[in-house]
A and B are shown apart, each in its own frame.
Chain A
Amino acid sequence: MIHPMGKEYVGISKVAGPLLFIEGVKGVSFDELVEIRTRNNEIRHGRVLEVNRSFAMIEVFEGTVGLTISSTRVRFHGKPLQIPVSMDMLGRIFNGLGEPIDGGPPPFYREKRDVNGAPINPVVRDYPEDFIQTGISTIDCMNTLVRGQKLPIFSGSGLPHNELAAQIVRQAKVSSQEDRFAIVFAAMGIKNDAAQMFRKSFEESGAISRVVMFLNLSNDPSIERLVTPRAALTMAEYLAFDLGMHVLVVLTDMTNYCEALREISTSKEEVPSRKGYPGYLYSDLSSIYERAGRIIGCEGSITQIPILTMPNDDITHPIPDLTGFITEGQIVLDRELAKRGVYPPINVLPCLSRLMNDGIGAVKTREDHAHLSNQLYTAYSYVKKVETLASIIGEDELSDQDKRYLDFGRMFEEQFIGQGQHENRSIKETLDLAWDILTTLPKEELIRLTEEEIQKYYPNNGAQECPTG
């Protein structure tokens, strides 16, 4: 370990929760990295959260268990936390602070970078508009992912969000140039099994040599999680904007990250906002999510797929809520669909991709794509209304029209939403499938599609009629 300059102080004045207080320090600056040596010569890391002329408050990433007042040594590094970045790091596994944990040697590097990054100047952002085919119908057709987008998966405990994310990573890879593709994977407080699942999936697809993993598992110190996504994104920015690679960043699970933030905030005795989360949760999350995108003149891009589990499946909980305000859409998983065995259990109604309209259309996908997607949304949301009605008055009492809608709904959920974990549908297959399912409805109901589109794509031009009931 390199020992940078800086005075070492012996003895601290107070330890509370994850925080350490030290008095009588000089020349300490805000946000700088701190090295803490315990009585047993174990080294931990921390960051200055507040400083004045006589004292500093430090958050300790690895936790404060075992620290003593008199014999703890603290050394200030004079600069914020940095991680090395290099091509050499591809295929390696690091802990949440960016130190190798795969048994290999420290990576070769020329440069270290501040994990906090810096905001991208809005004038140099390039608008994301390159279609990424994920092979998943509900995403490709109705919530299209584009290169440089940040599209989170809102899930719940026990739902197959990890499988879905792994499938996206596996299948999205195919459409881009092999040699300029990388995956940065950041795990925050997830179970060991889930991390293994991702690893196995990367290995199977042969992408493992292009993956950088930052792992902070559920039994690792929780405060370290505050650094993990930033370390990962620092790496991603280097790969994308220095080396011109297309980087897909998977961040899982953001809920654990937010909880660590709340822990620090309460230890600092800050005024809480909703559900005890700090008032700056929005700003803090955006300092992570906004590190996605494209830059004019740079070949590469960062596409982010953050995963979060909604506490109690509540989409209005501060974590999914604030995330939704920052990200460019969301993919929402639904317990009801999962229980019925539909995979992926994506409930399309609350889903959204804000950048979709720029990534689709005649040249990129097909000219009917936008209207087709809107038509599916309109029809499926009507299905939900009819289902409520049917649960009150019984399905038999419905009008023929409404019965047709119910049929449409069933086909849509089973055939369109539902697909295999290894089923990779091309965009054409997806769109054709959508038209097939829409034949359940009479042509006059398709008001979101233009007449020319119906003329061109309506299969057999509506000759066959599906039996009702």
Chain B
Amino acid sequence: MLKPIGIVNSINGPVVKADEVHSVEMMELVEIGDERLIGEIIELHEDRATIQMYEGTSGLEPGTVIYGTGFPLSVELGPGLIGTIYDGIQRPLQQMHMQTGNFIKRGIKPLPLDQHKCWHFIPLVEAGAYMRQGNIFGIVLETPLFEHQLMIPPQVEGQVEFIQKEGDYTIKETVVRLKAKSGYIDLTMAQKWPVRLPRPYMRRLVPDEPLITGQRVIDTFFPLAKGGTAGIPGGFGTGKTITQHQLSKWCDADIIVYIGCGERGNEMTGVLMDFPKLMDLKRGRPLIERTILIANTSDMPLAAREASIYTGITIAEYYRDMGYDVALMADSTSRWAEALREISGRLEEMPAEEGFPAYLASRLAKFYERAGRVETCCGKTGSVSAICAVSPPGGDFSEPVTQHTKRFVRCFWGLNKELASSRYFPAIHYMDSYSEYIDLIQFWWVQNVDPEWKSLRDEAMKILQEDFKLQQIVKLIGEDALPDNQRLVLEGARLLKNAFLQQSAFDKVDMFTVPQKQFLMLKTILRFYHKARVVLRSHIPFERLRQLPVVNEINRMKDRISNNACEQFEALFQQIDHQMNEIEKECMSVR
């Protein structure tokens, strides 16, 4: 299978140049020397080739033989992906640990999927059926509640000649034999797909269903649709990782693909420790049973970091093709862009902005376009939502990666340093952020929650905007100097910020809020605001309003009223009405 295709000429970090190169394809995976270090051909020029290496190159010598594998960088797809943690080129880290111990060594290639594990296969078709790409021929229960649909691989079709009976098989065994034009094709439960190529689907659908995340600032103010794209930029310490962890814990996707791309090792450890313990709200099973982790931490080889997001999105697309909603988290695309930059620099390419290669924008665009809500080849509806952190240097959003990301995502959650430093989380700033999905998904809210949703949301947003403007004045003259109606705007905004937008990731009740409760919380605050506006007309001192006991109740409703006790809001409404009426009466009688 492996044949020599060239000789190493020079080595410069992760970039190896080869000469005497023959019979090799662009993007083909190669292995170098006796250690069989893995690399990928990224440039061909006559008999010379440039290779980006997925492993460290220390100790590599010019003159070493290079072997071709005949395949581009691919991932193996099949039952056994869920719950596994892979590196950037889909090597299972648990297996690597067993082979080489606590530290990652070079030149080992454990297979991505467990070759010996038996899966219980249930056939869904019979001999004689004609199958096309994406058609489902059987199912396997991958985790106790997750059905893995076995699909005919892309570009394969034919008549079922033979299919195994229900029973336990490994992924090496043939389960289906197709009779195609070209001859017989044996299929196992696993298939391969090159990571840099999007998997096929029938057609794209409009993303009009929200991805419910339980995070109020996201669901209510800047919602993401299933199949949508979102960017989370923020300087260090603003909470990108916590936000992504929150989303992967609570969002209502079926599968989570979490890519730790050039980030901290301990963060992946945190996920590995937390996820088996936390329960999925929908299924009541540990979260790890719907999660696939890809960890290429910052100290692991750079080129594998570049590959990691493609590995991740290919796995996501595979589950999408079965008709599932997949959410992909990438933390962080800046590290991926930096890997591109470093490799580009070593290739001595002409740099564009800040040393990044000119093709940064097109690579980002291609990646984000792989997200989407589609009708799959088997006629089901599936989606891949991409939620990507961006780490702008110095927290400055004008840098190239943030700017290009903004062009290709439709949801932008800008994290703010000031909010973070006063421990106001999630530090998603309501003035910097936007979502283009609001109009698409409002019908879902109308149908499932309340017809008033959009108007309440817009009004709350208006209060926040007005507050933002007023704060400029407050900075100069202080709050007390403003007229009462403007102070009420500030008070309304304060309630929105403290009682609604701020959400603790660590409080048992507050960490996840169902849409119904989100709506009622918003309604409570706006009810207070409206009532107060009326009451203020009868010249009640503003301080009296702020001192109402119900203000404290509103501030604490997020952790006092649990998700399944939404009826308690009725009492809160009455309290608001009652206390407002009381002070109004009181003031009248004094006069």
A: which residues have CB within 8 A of B? 27-32, 49-53, 79-80, 114, 116-128, 148, 241, 270-274, 278-280, 282-283, 286-287, 290-291, 293, 295, 298, 315-318, 321-322, 324-326, 328-330, 349-350, 352, 354-355, 357, 370, 373-374, 377-378, 381-382, 385, 388-389, 392-393, 397-399, 402, 444, 447-448
Contacts and interface: CB of A to CB of B under 8 A. Distances in A.
B478 A393 contact: yes
Contacts of A354: 237
A324 B298 contact: no
A120 B394 contact: no
A328 B264 contact: yes
Given A280-B302, A325-B236, 18 more contacts: A28-B62, A30-B61, A51-B61, A118-B105, A127-B273, A290-B264, A291-B299, A315-B394, A316-B396, A330-B236, A352-B237, A357-B506, A377-B422, A378-B423, A381-B421, A393-B476, A393-B477, A397-B478
Contacts of B338: 279-280, 282-283
B433 interface: no
Nearest to A283: B302
B17 A52 contact: yes
Nearest to B559: A450
Contact of A29 (B61, B97, B100, B342): B61
7 contacts: A28-B62, A283-B298, A287-B298, A290-B298, A293-B265, A381-B421, A382-B422
Contacts of B480: 399
Contacts, number: 209
B266 A324 contact: no
B9 A52 contact: yes
Given A349-B422, A392-B476, A397-B478, A123 B272 contact: yes
Contacts of B479: 399
Contacts of A316: 393-396
Contact of B237 (A32, A295, A318, A329): A329
Interface stretch (B52-60, B184-192, B442-450, B516-524): B52-60
A196 to B, nearest CB: 33
B269 A125 contact: yes
A398 B478 CA distance: 7
Contacts of B345: 270-271, 278-280
Given A274-B393, A357-B506, A32 B355 contact: no
A293 B266 contact: yes
Contacts of B226: none
Contacts of A79: 59
B236 to A, nearest CB: 4
Interface residues on B, range: 35 or more
Given A123-B272, A295-B102, A393-B478, A31 B393 contact: no
A114 B235 CA distance: 34
A122 B272 CA distance: 9
B10 A318 contact: no
A441 B475 CA distance: 21
Given A126-B269, A282-B335, A349-B422, A50 B10 contact: yes
Contact of A31 (B58, B237, B394, B475): B58
A122 B93 contact: yes
Contacts of A382: 422
B265 A290 contact: yes
Given A318-B393, A324-B237, A377-B421, A123 B105 contact: no
B270 interface: yes
Nearest to A273: B355
A276 to B, nearest CB: 11
A355 B96 CA distance: 27
B422 A381 contact: yes
Given A329-B237, A444-B552, A120 B103 contact: yes
B237 A123 contact: no
Contacts of B395: 316
A148 B265 CA distance: 12
B568 interface: no
Contact of A30 (B59, B351, B475): B59
Nearest to B106: A118
B103 A117 contact: yes
Contacts of B394: 315-317, 321
A392 B481 CA distance: 14
Contacts of A278: 345
Contacts of A330: 236-237
A315 B269 CA distance: 28
B555 interface: yes
A279 B347 CA distance: 13
B393 A321 contact: yes
Interface string B447-487: 00000000000000000000000000011111110000000
B432 interface: no
Contacts of A321: 235-236, 393-394
Given A80-B59, A271-B355, A350-B421, A122 B478 contact: no
